Chains A and B, each alone.
Chain A
Amino acid sequence: MQNTIQHTDIYAIALHHRFQWEEAQQCYVILFPEGMVKLNGGAGEVLKLVDGQRSVGEVVAALQATFPDVPDIEKDILAMFDLALGKAWLRKLN
């Protein structure tokens, strides 16, 4: 991992970025100046919960509850946070 992500961290979508569901594409996207990224299902589920309120720990707990059958989901979620931070899609609030 490139970034140190703590369970108590609170993130929001970065300034000038927009996260939204796209009906035509049937996926979540991130939009920003001069670019866009279509997110796969897992990434969309994580970023949907990144709302500037929930901590990383709460995001993990919520997704563990939603997807109880996915083994080691926490690792995938933290990897997603790491990727999103590396791409500057997120900003840290605390």
Chain B
Amino acid sequence: MAQQNNGVAANVTHTQPLWLLAEVTYRCPLHCAFCYNPTDYDKHTQNELSTEQWIQALRDARKLGALQLGISGGEPLLRDDIEDIVVEAKKLGYYSNLITSGVGLTEKRIQAFKEGGLDHIQLSMHDITEEINNFITNTRTFELKKKVAAMIKNHGYPMVLNVVIHRYNIGHIKEILEMAEALGADYVELANTQYYGWSLVNRSQLMPSKEQIDHAEKITNEFRAKVGNKMKIFFVVPDYFAERPKKCMNGWGEVFMIVTANGDVLPCHSARVLPNMQFPNVRDKGLEWAWKDSPAFNKYRGDSWMKAPCRTCPEKDNDLAGCRCQAFLLTGDAESADPVCSLSPNHHIIEKAIEDAKNPQLQAQPIVFRTDKNSKKIIAGELQERVADFHALP
């Protein structure tokens, strides 16, 4: 019997970590303003897991039922052992996905990935214009990304483009989709920025208006009707503008598991912001214990932890009270309703954030790019004016 926590344990709910995200490094050559990595990532760049430790983690997760493997970061290609990880993933029967900015993807490496059995590559693109691509990533990567897109196609890979949407590119949705079609993309994810990590610090600079989002969605729907099955387009709706919160990660410890660069095991990308939680590490008791028995993974399974108004809400099964990290970051109470919900007593916080994003003075604040230097500053307690509103470092 796994440990009981809130009356629910993994072996009772029959959860399985179908999706495993391996954030193999936090190092990254890009400096994207919207990166969801923790702003204090500089603390976690030491002690990266070794190749052998990653391979063991892959084996253990597969035994727990993991099927879809995302190899991500930071920029995973900064490690020189991705080839070995890919070979092991293939051997174990994963459907594997390299999530990359494209920086560091050479003919030699892509050839090795193909031979090793990597199933697909997800490339991030930012805009149709060089100016905005280079501005938002704080790098000169526009031409390189186009070359990498062609390389992915030439090697017979399905082309999956991920485009994070924000104020600077939302007006170009049609042109972005046309570019994707011209590049031969099979899948396009238009991922409206969610406000975690660096994007939360830069929220007033990045957030588009409701009207812009509605317009972008309309254009996307028209484009989808035109291209049909040839290019699948996902439009990730931004939760700040929704009536109800998202069912975050499809439930805490339900189908998703992240192993971070230093081996911490998390149920979601930003869980480390939560207070009084000790997340397991693969170096300690292994993944099976982490998933089934660790107090952290059991903490928000089920619904007995919920507070009013969620506890008695007839819709609670639809969204499981939303995102714990968002609730804590914005309200200081991890067990309160996600303030995105219009029924949350704290919903005014979201309304204020939307208003702030219209404020020319706040809009004009400089973007805090994701750099080692800025991460060190934030850890040292600088840039207070940008993080003071939040109940943990984003």
Q: Which residues of A contact B (CB under 8 A)?
A: 15-16, 18, 20, 22, 24-25, 29, 31-34, 36, 88
- Is there contact, CB below 8 Å, between A34 and B119? no
Bound: A53/B23 CA distance, A? 40
- Is there contact, CB below 8 Å, between B93 and A16? no
20 contacts between A and B (CB under 8 A): A15-B158, A16-B119, A16-B120, A16-B158, A16-B186, A20-B93, A24-B64, A24-B65, A25-B16, A31-B95, A32-B95, A33-B119, A33-B120, A33-B187, A34-B160, A34-B187, A34-B189, A36-B67, A36-B95, A88-B229
- Is there contact, CB below 8 Å, between A31 and B68? yes
Q: Which 6 A-B pairs have the closest CB atoms?
A: A24-B65, A31-B95, A16-B158, A33-B120, A33-B160, A88-B229
B283 at the interface (CB under 8 A from A): no
**Most chain B beta carbons < 10 A, residue from A18, A20, A29, A32:** A32
Known contacts A31-B67, A34-B189: A18-B119 contact under CB 8 Å: yes
Closest chain B CB from A24 CB (angstroms): 4
- Is there contact, CB below 8 Å, between A22 and B234? no
Known contacts A16-B120, A16-B186, A36-B95: A29-B234 contact under CB 8 Å: no
Known contacts A16-B186, A24-B65, A25-B65: A36-B18 contact under CB 8 Å: yes
Closest to B121 in A: A33
Bound: A88/B231 CA distance, A? 11
Interface set, chain B 41-77, CB cutoff 8 A to A: 62-65, 67-68
Which of chain B's residues have a CB closer than 8 A to the CB of A32? Answer: 95
- Is there contact, CB below 8 Å, between A24 and B189? no
B97 at the interface (CB under 8 A from A): yes
Bound: A33/B67 CA distance, A? 12
Closest to A25 in B: B65
Give the number of A-B contacts (CB < 8 Å): 42
Bound: A38/B187 CA distance, A? 21
Bound: A6/B68 CA distance, A? 34
Q: Which residues of B contact A (CB under 8 A)?
A: 16, 18, 62-65, 67-68, 93, 95, 97, 119-120, 122, 157-158, 160, 186-187, 189, 229, 234
Closest chain B CB from A68 CB (angstroms): 33
Closest chain A CB from B185 CB (angstroms): 11
Which of chain A's residues have a CB closer than 8 A to the CB of B68? Answer: 31, 36
Closest to A22 in B: B67
Given contacts A24-B63, A34-B234, A36-B68, 16 further A-B pairs with CB under 8 A are A15-B158, A16-B119, A16-B120, A16-B186, A24-B16, A24-B64, A25-B16, A25-B65, A29-B67, A31-B67, A31-B68, A31-B119, A33-B119, A33-B158, A36-B67, A88-B229
Closest to A32 in B: B95
Closest chain B CB from A92 CB (angstroms): 13
Which of chain A's residues have a CB closer than 8 A to the CB of B120? Answer: 16, 33
Bound: A16/B157 CA distance, A? 8
- Is there contact, CB below 8 Å, between A33 and B16? no
- Is there contact, CB below 8 Å, between A33 and B18? no
- Is there contact, CB below 8 Å, between A33 and B234? no
Which of chain A's residues have a CB closer than 8 A to the CB of B234? Answer: 34
Bound: A15/B234 CA distance, A? 20
Closest chain A CB from B191 CB (angstroms): 11
Closest to B93 in A: A20
Which of chain A's residues have a CB closer than 8 A to the CB of B119? Answer: 16, 18, 31, 33
Which of chain A's residues have a CB closer than 8 A to the CB of B97? Answer: 33-34
Closest to B62 in A: A24
Bound: A29/B18 CA distance, A? 11
Bound: A33/B19 CA distance, A? 12
**Most chain A beta carbons < 10 A, residue from B62, B64, B93:** B93
Closest chain B CB from A15 CB (angstroms): 7
Which of chain A's residues have a CB closer than 8 A to the CB of B160? Answer: 33-34
With beta carbons under 8 angstroms apart, the residue of B65, B158, B186 that contacts A22 is: B65
